[in-house]
Amino acid sequence: MITHIERLSEEETDALLQTVNEQIVTESFDSHNHQLIAQMVESLGDSRGMVRLGFAEALGKVGLPAVPFLEEALANHPDAVVRRAAAKTLTLIASPSAVPHLIHAVLHDEDTVVKSSSVAALARTGAEAVPPLLEILASEEHPESTKGHAAWALAFIGSQAKEIWYKEIHSESPVVRAAVIGAIAKIAQETPEEKAFDILIKALSDGDETVRTEAAAALGNLAYEPAVPHLVESLAHLDGETRSSAALALMKIGSPTAIVPLQSALSVETEQKVQRVLELAISQLQKQSEVSRE
């Protein structure tokens, strides 16, 4: 691996980009020319955004031969601009071999843009990125911001790792189960697959509050009407957040059959916060019912 490349002048950089693009178009680009690829990666640090974009797109078209150079830049380049662009370019290529390097950047790079760009690359890579992302979620060592990034990437991957989600919904880690809910919700939205909806409904009775509320929110966003009786049952849960999330989900689903159970729940509700949510849900459903009768 070439370890040191001098940054070109703007004129030289422009000429290089033009030459590279011509070679790519004419299919004459030499993917074995490591010096050239390394120079292209170094040019990701150009001060002009459009030039950086041009090299990123060119490297994306070069594809797998560029990956080791992008991985090296992501791991070790002193210029954060180059590391950011390297991560974004790896998003275009989506190579499984880059997963360990992207994970390392997410966990250890000091630049927040490098972290977020690496997360995006992991999301685009797909199922190969799932195991280390789940490890991040299950670990107690990482901050909530990092776990949030991991959860977003897992939800984005969605149906690409369907069988993994169906297995991991039984994880001992409630954080993992909560993140898996987001991925399964995406499967239900894209397919839709009955098994995904069944898992979301079962998750309403999970032992963890976050998992229950995530499941309720997912069912509400999906407007899955068969979930109504199960959400009505959640209105009597001992946990106030669970009752609130169930009420909001019923409101989003919009079934008028939920009005009476919501009113019954409100008549016995003791927490003011939950009362307000119940009142909102009842009000919205009544308005929708009135509009439908007009």
Indicate the residue type of 250. L
Could you read off the pLDDT tens digit of each residue along the chain, which spans 294 residues? Answer: 555 688 899 999 999 999 999 999 999 999 999 999 999 999 999 999 999 999 999 999 999 999 999 999 999 999 999 999 999 999 999 999 999 999 999 999 999 999 999 999 999 998 899 999 989 988 888 888 898 888 888 888 877 788 888 888 998 989 889 888 988 898 888 887 899 999 999 999 999 999 999 999 999 999 999 999 999 999 999 999 999 999 999 999 999 999 999 999 999 999 999 999 999 999 999 998 877 665
3-state secondary structure of 176: helix
- Would you call the peptide bond into 192 cis, given omega within 30 degrees of 0 as the criterion? yes
* Cβ neighbours, 10 Å, residue 195: 14
Q: Distance (Å, rounded) from C-alpha 218 to C-alpha 252?
A: 10
Angle, vertex CA 145, rays to CA 140 and CA 151, nearest 5: 80
What are all long-range contacts of 172-176, with beta carbons under 8 Å and residues at least 24 apart? 173/137, 173/138, 174/206, 174/207, 174/208, 174/210, 174/211, 175/137, 175/138, 175/147, 175/210, 176/134, 176/137, 176/138
Q: pTM here?
A: 0.72
Residue ranges and CATH numbers for the domains of the chain are: 1-125 (no CATH), 126-222 (1.25.10.10), 227-294 (1.25.10.10)
